[in-house]
Amino acid sequence: MKSKADPQLVFLVGINLLVLLSASLLSKGAFIDPYNLQSMAAQLPELGLLAIGVMLAMSSGNGGIDLSGIALANLSGVFSATVVTAFVSVDQAPVLFTLAFAGIAMCTGLVGGVVNGLLISRLGLTPILCTLGTQLLFTGLAVVLSGGPSVRVGSADLLMEIGNGLWFGVPISFLIFLLIALLVGAVLKYSPFGIRLFLMGTNPKAARFAGFAQERLLITTYALCGTMAGVAGVLIASRNVNVKWDYGQSYLLIAILITVMAGVKPEGGYGRMTCLFLSTTALQLLSSMLNFLDVPNFFRDCAWGALLLIFLAFGRYELFARAREKGLQFISWVRPPPAHKSHS
Amino acid sequence: MKLKPVHAAIAAVLLATSVGALNAQDKPTIATVVKISGIPWFNRMEVGVKEYASTTPTVNASQSGPATSDAAQQLKIIDDLIARKVSALAVVPMDPTVIEGALKRAMDRGIVVVTHEADTQKNTHADIEAFDNAAYGVALNEKLSSCMGNKGKWTSFVGSLGSRTHIQWVEAGAANAKKHAGMTLVDAKNESFDDANKTYEKAKEILRKHPDIAGFQGSAGNDVIGIGRAVEEAGLAGKVCVVGTGLATPSAKLIESGAITAIGFWDPKDAGLAMNKTAKLLLDKKPLTNGMNLGVKGYEKVSVTKGPGAGYLIVGNAMVIADKSTYKNYLF
């Protein structure tokens, strides 16, 4: 029996292929040069991880969102760099440096996420207002710690490998993102935590009456979200060698755009990791295509906006289903189906 | 085998690659990447880049830049240009440190890298400065202090704490102001992010906090416009001294009303021309010698010294300080 294809998934796959195809044709093949594919693959993990965080927050319902993602990522990088460079020398112990840096950055992300979770669950703050506040808090802490200018992390070989290295031609940072996406996706789909999260997102009141430990669920969700930001901070540091408190301020809205364009319901209760992954790649492909074709950057925001609106229209009004029907009708008109053998 | 859409897509992609392989070698491309697109300063630089493109038909020259003041967005553009394998990159970095990694990747890929307003950039073949940054900061501050009568409170604005040149200017200015015992620096290095509105809001705050403030030194091209507007609104035009980097045409109205005392600048068009010409010299493997003439106004006798990395530091002599009596000469 043929399963009904998820229209949003099909749209995302379609848009990915369409952009890849048009960019290849318009750039005369330069777009699918391996170097460019690797370059694009290395650019998207930072955004993708932040988008995973936003998806987790949105899925928890009750207007869940995380506006503090990139601020926490920057704080993780700045804090970790400041602390680790004071105790471990980059040149003498590069492996220890890398592990310590990554570990402390992820812990900072975790702690930041727990702060968000506590404020939202214990104090009952609206997620959007709470994370707006923590965004400013994290940014402020990063400014104070760094004094303003960027903080040099230092080029430890292992850390550089994470950001720039390849494994069988695939960037390691992309593999890390893929792995995390698979893990979190599996947790969301198959683990009791994931199932309870989506149920709570769909109907918080029913969840409460069903006896879900809502506070613990929320704290775990936002803690996971914060850890994503911590990992993003490590990837940013490994690629740029320096971390700064105001890096990627535009990432906030872009991450939310990716999440919404993945079909994640902002009111909570639904989100597919596969769609999120494809949404990230689609936006990256579109962005790089416009840069390849020398299109001014202003048009990129316009293109993303148009893409989002088309995506929402497809999902909402089942246009895709109707278009597919019309398409099939047209195909059968052009090429009539073969005559059936009669069973009499 | 039934032709599925997936097969069609793969076939089309393979076709596209083969078309690319058959294509003849294009002209070398010099890609200029600026801090932020759409503001008067870099619109003027684009005039220079377009002029270079039209007078040098053997090269493809174009300018691009992020729509927002975000180093991450500039980094994305640079990454994509590296992947596109342009022949040379001419970058005005939003934050030199953030793009060090990317510029190293560019140099490893055989791309010529030229920068501007980034004399601490390690991974560049040549950094071009319009003038000695400390001298410029002192010149701005001297204009400010002579207007202030060498006494009173003053403050400074920068584009961002990461903007290397802006920090150099205000720090040189502060060192200069220390010579005058009557001048007190308060709330230094306010960030404007190249946004005239943000500058205006911050300047209003400062005027509220220090009602007796006597002077402002701005750094980013839009700073004097925001500060001047706040000063004019407060009715202090002509009473408070405002000096900073700015272009004459956008600042004209405020200069006339006295809200802006003086503007300092270098012609971004000439800077763009200088960057592209240097990139071409490096592409042609020509040497860069001390005292050479780049063929651009203000860069006829540049000093070429060793930069912080393996590249050169090229310093020109293109500083201009204009006030109410002289600004009309520079209405570009």
pLDDT band of residue A233 (cuts 50, 70, 90) is very high
Structural domains for chain A: 34-295 (1.10.3470)
Q: Are B313 and B122 in contact, with CB atoms under 8 Å apart?
A: no
Tell me the three state secondary structure of residue A318.
coil
What pLDDT is recorded for position B78?
95
Interface of A with B in 265-324 (CB under 8 A): 287-288, 291-292, 294, 296-298, 300-301
Q: Does residue B248 belong to any structural domain of this protein?
A: yes
Asked if residues A97 and A89 have their Cβ atoms less than 8 Å apart, the reply is yes
Same domain, B260 and B138: yes
Both tokens assigned to B200: 């205006």
pLDDT, tens digit, 9 for 90 and up, residues B71-111: 999 999 999 999 999 999 999 999 898 899 899 999 999 99
Interface contact B101-A164, CB threshold 8 A: yes
B38 and A298 in contact by Cβ < 8 A? yes
Question: CA-to-CA distance for A56 and A224, rounded, in angstroms?
Answer: 8
Instruction: Find the domain containing B159 and state its range.
Output: 133-265
* B-chain residue closest to A160, CA distance: B101
A239 vs B contacts (CB less than 8 Å)? 101
Pair (B156, B255) in one structural domain: yes
Are residues B36 and B64 both part of a single domain? yes
The predicted structure's pLDDT at residue A1 = 41
Percent of chain B beyond pLDDT 70? 92
Average pLDDT, chain B: 89
- Rounded CA-CA distance A93/B276 in Å is 42
pLDDT mean over A46-72: 94
User: B107 and B42 in one domain?
Assistant: yes
pLDDT, residue A342, reads 56
A248 interfaces chain B, CB cutoff of 8 Å: yes
Rg (CA), chain B: 22
Asked if residues A74 and A141 have their Cβ atoms less than 8 Å apart, the reply is no
CB distance A113 to A225 below 8 Å: yes
Residue B143 lies in a domain: yes
Give pLDDT, residue B21: 42
The predicted structure's pLDDT at residue B23: 43
Contact call for residues A282 and A45 (beta carbons, < 8 A): no
The shares of helix, strand and coil residues in chain B, as percent rounded to the nearest 5, are 45, 20, 35
Instruction: Give the global pTM.
Output: 0.82
Do B204 and B220 share a domain, yes or no?
yes
User: Does the residue B331 lie in any domain?
Assistant: no
Are both B292 and B260 inside the same structural domain?
A: no
- Rounded to 5°, angle at Cα A19 from A16 and A25: 140
- pLDDT tens, position by position, A65-118: 999 999 999 999 999 999 999 888 878 888 899 999 999 999 999 999 999 999
DSSP, res B149: T
Task: State the sign of the Cα–Cα–Cα–Cα dihedral A220, A222, A226, A228.
Answer: positive
Same domain, B146 and B193: yes
Token readout for B242 is 């405002």
Residues B194 and B274 in one domain: no
Q: At what angle do helices A297-317 and A251-261 cross, to 10 degrees?
A: 30
Domains: count for chain B: 2
Identify whether B322 is part of a domain: no
Q: Are both B147 and B237 inside the same structural domain? A: yes
* Judgement on whether residues B158 and B260 belong to the same structural domain of the protein: yes
B240 lies in the same domain as B299: no
Return the pLDDT at A94.
85
Nearest to A218 by CA among A137, A109, A115: A115
Q: What is the dihedral of CA A253, A255, A260, A262, to 10 degrees?
A: 160
ipTM here: 0.82
Distant-in-sequence contacts of A117-125, Cβ < 8 A, 24+ apart: A117/A218, A117/A219, A117/A220, A117/A221, A117/A222, A117/A223, A118/A219, A120/A64, A120/A218, A120/A222, A121/A214, A121/A215, A121/A218, A121/A219, A122/A215
B137/B51 same-domain check: no
For residue B116, give the nearest of B152, B84, B91 by alpha carbon: B91
Q: Are B215 and B154 in contact (CB under 8 A)?
A: yes
Alpha carbon distance B276, B178 (integer Å): 39
| Average pLDDT over every residue of B284-313 | 92
Closest C-alpha among B327, B272, B301 to residue B56: B272
CATH number at residue B183: 3.40.50.2300
Residues 29-48 of B with CB under 8 A from A: 37-38
The pLDDT-based confidence of B10 (bands split at 50, 70, 90) is low
Tell me, yes or no, whether B59 lies in a domain.
yes
